[in-house]
């Protein structure tokens, strides 16, 4: 067997649960394939592939070998009649336990403002960072002591909008799959009372509360240095002045939403913290009411860190109204939600930081409060229609995922996981398993069932990414990167110098480089990890 043939057949390198659909993607025209016991080399099952298809996203001709019928636990590989083979994988109902654990533990590694001790961080320990008060941009005499929270990505900026998405995903995962969070990570706060996922989210929520302007209830958009630090600078060595950027409506809206959601979830475990979250949410809503139209955020001229600009704030307001109504039951929030639900400008079924309407829709459909039955029916139908659209794309894709070729953008793996997340929600709303089967194929893609045969999660799979655009992983002197980081994935946009030089002409799904310099393909973020935690929580 040549090195080119080994791993040529794409599989989930972690393995497969016994009763999941199990699909191997085989390059070429297809034909017979067999499942082989990896230890003995003996075939245990054989079958015929589907008809080959020209897969536009990968630029490859592929066929699919379905071995779902085989459920016997063990370690296997797939071999084709052409002499191709897959990497070894296991069949076991516990294949996702460690990956789920690591994807969640990564949020601890993103923590800012505290020492990451060796007893919790292992080799990836580092000193406390970014503890100085920040200058309020435009009011140089004012300081905000907004320590804590999570670094956003491969840099050390902290941003309210993507932070709200990340917390929302984790809290939704806890609501849907509480059993997935019984195991300790552990964290410095770990105890036998509150699950670690809630301790971790609280660390970010408390930082967000420090970002609320106590003079008017609005929320500052972000906290960063003026410019990004060098690529190998450790967080404690990033000592440039910190700046708080101006209040934005998008930050205030998603802050109100996630605080209202947190108030409801934490009420059962910490009534005092929950009350503080609700008070913060109501103050933010009051600011939004005073400013029904507000300019979209843009970086001040001196600041070149991540912008997260968004001219549209209706989706954040829609989400906030839904969460505040679900938490308080107050009619004014219900009225606001119903009014905004009639706006065609709001995308009500997306889960990205720029389009947060899906969180509002999910909250309303999950609500125990009295609902407008006609509106609820329309929202449910719209969400299921969106899930059907994603399923239809998945069924046509050579690797079974819901991305069209043009959707291999910066952070394409976020879309992969957001889509899987939405299909799992649809599964629950429809009492079906059809969406779930397709959602799980998105997990297979993440861990190696892709045209590059690569696991996009550090530390997991036979061919995991090794050089993410993540400053601590680059600067800590540890050979292995921080485990559990989800790479942004293929991006045909050629948005960094390395990509422009080395990836030009590649097919969309192959436009990826496992190298620190390619930040537009290989960066990591909290809000790419968070939907992955949700999806894998379903698998535990």
Please list the active-site residues: 514, 523
Answer for the pair 245, 219: CB distance below 8 angstroms, yes or no: no
Residue 180 gets which letter from DSSP?
A: G
Residue 529 gets which letter from DSSP?
A: H
Exposure string of 190-228, with b = 16+ CB inside 10 Å and e = fewer, is eeeeebbbbbbbbbbbbbbbbbbbeeebbbbbbbbbeeb
192 CB-near residues (< 8 Å, 6+ apart): none
Taken in order 397, 399, 401, 405, the sign of the CA dihedral is negative
23 CB-near residues (< 8 Å, 6+ apart): 64, 65, 66, 67, 68, 400, 441, 444, 449
Q: From CA 538, how far away is CA 534, in angstroms rounded?
A: 7
Answer for the pair 225, 238: CB distance below 8 angstroms, yes or no: yes
What is the number of alpha carbons within 13 Å of residue 379 lying toward its C-beta?
A: 32
Q: From CA 527, how far away is CA 204, in angstroms rounded?
A: 13
Per-residue tokens: 130: 């970014």
Residue 242 gets which letter from DSSP?
A: P
What is the number of alpha carbons within 13 Å of residue 57 lying toward its C-beta?
A: 24
């Amino acid at each position: 067997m040549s090195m080119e043939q080994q791993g040529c057949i794409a599989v989930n390198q972690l393995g497969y649960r016994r009763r999941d659909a199990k699909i191997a993607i085989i390059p070429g025209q297809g034909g017979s394939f067999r499942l082989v016991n990896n230890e003995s080399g003996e075939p245990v099952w054989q079958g015929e592939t589907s008809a080959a298809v020209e897969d536009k996203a990968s630029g490859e001709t592929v066929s699919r070998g379905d071995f779902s019928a085989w459920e016997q636990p063990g370690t296997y590989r797939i071999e084709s009649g052409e002499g191709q083979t897959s990497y070894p994988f296991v069949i076991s109902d516990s294949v996702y336990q460690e990956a789920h654990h690591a994807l969640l533990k990564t949020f601890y590694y993103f923590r800012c403002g505290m020492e990451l001790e060796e007893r919790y961080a292992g080799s990836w320990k580092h000193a406390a960072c970014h503890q100085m008060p920040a200058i309020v941009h435009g009011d140089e005499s004012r300081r905000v002591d907004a320590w804590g929270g999570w670094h956003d990505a491969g840099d050390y900026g902290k941003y309210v909008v993507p932070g709200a998405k990340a917390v929302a995903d984790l809290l939704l995962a806890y609501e849907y799959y509480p059993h997935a969070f019984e195991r300790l990570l552990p964290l410095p706060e770990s105890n036998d009372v509150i699950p670690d996922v809630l301790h971790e989210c609280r660390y970010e929520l408390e930082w967000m509360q420090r970002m609320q302007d106590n003079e008017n209830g609005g929320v500052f958009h972000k906290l960063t240095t003026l410019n990004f630090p060098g690529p190998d600078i450790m967080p404690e060595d990033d000592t440039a002045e910190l700046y708080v950027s101006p209040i934005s409506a998008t930050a205030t809206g998603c802050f109100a939403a996630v605080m209202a959601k947190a108030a409801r979830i934490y009420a059962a475990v910490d009534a005092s913290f929950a009350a503080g979250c609700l008070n913060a949410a109501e103050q933010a809503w009051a600011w939004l009411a005073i400013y029904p139209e507000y300019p979209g955020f843009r970086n001040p001229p001196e600041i070149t860190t991540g912008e997260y600009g968004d001219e549209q704030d209706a989706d954040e307001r829609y989400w906030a109204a839904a969460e505040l109504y679900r938490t308080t039951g107050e009619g004014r929030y219900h009225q606001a939600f119903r009014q905004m639900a009639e706006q065609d400008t709001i995308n009500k079924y997306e889960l990205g930081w720029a389009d947060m309407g899906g969180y509002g829709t999910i909250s309303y459909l999950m609500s125990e409060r009295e609902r407008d039955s006609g509106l609820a029916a329309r929202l449910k139908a719209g969400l299921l229609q969106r899930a059907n659209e994603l399923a239809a794309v998945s069924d046509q894709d050579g690797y079974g995922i819901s991305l069209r070729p043009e959707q291999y953008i910066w952070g394409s793996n976020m879309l992969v996981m957001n889509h899987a997340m939405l299909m799992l929600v649809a599964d629950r709303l429809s009492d079906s398993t059809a969406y779930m089967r397709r959602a799980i194929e998105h997990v297979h893609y993440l861990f190696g069932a892709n045209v590059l045969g690569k696991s996009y999660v550090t530390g997991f799979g036979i061919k995991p990414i090794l050089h993410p655009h993540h400053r601590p992983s680059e600067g800590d002197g540890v050979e292995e990167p921080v485990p559990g980081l989800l790479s942004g994935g293929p991006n045909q946009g050629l948005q960094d110098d390395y990509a422009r030089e080395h990836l030009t002409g590649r097919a969309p799904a192959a436009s990826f480089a496992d190298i620190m310099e390619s930040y537009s393909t290989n960066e990591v973020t909290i809000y790419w990890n968070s939907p992955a935690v949700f999806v894998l929580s379903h698998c535990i």
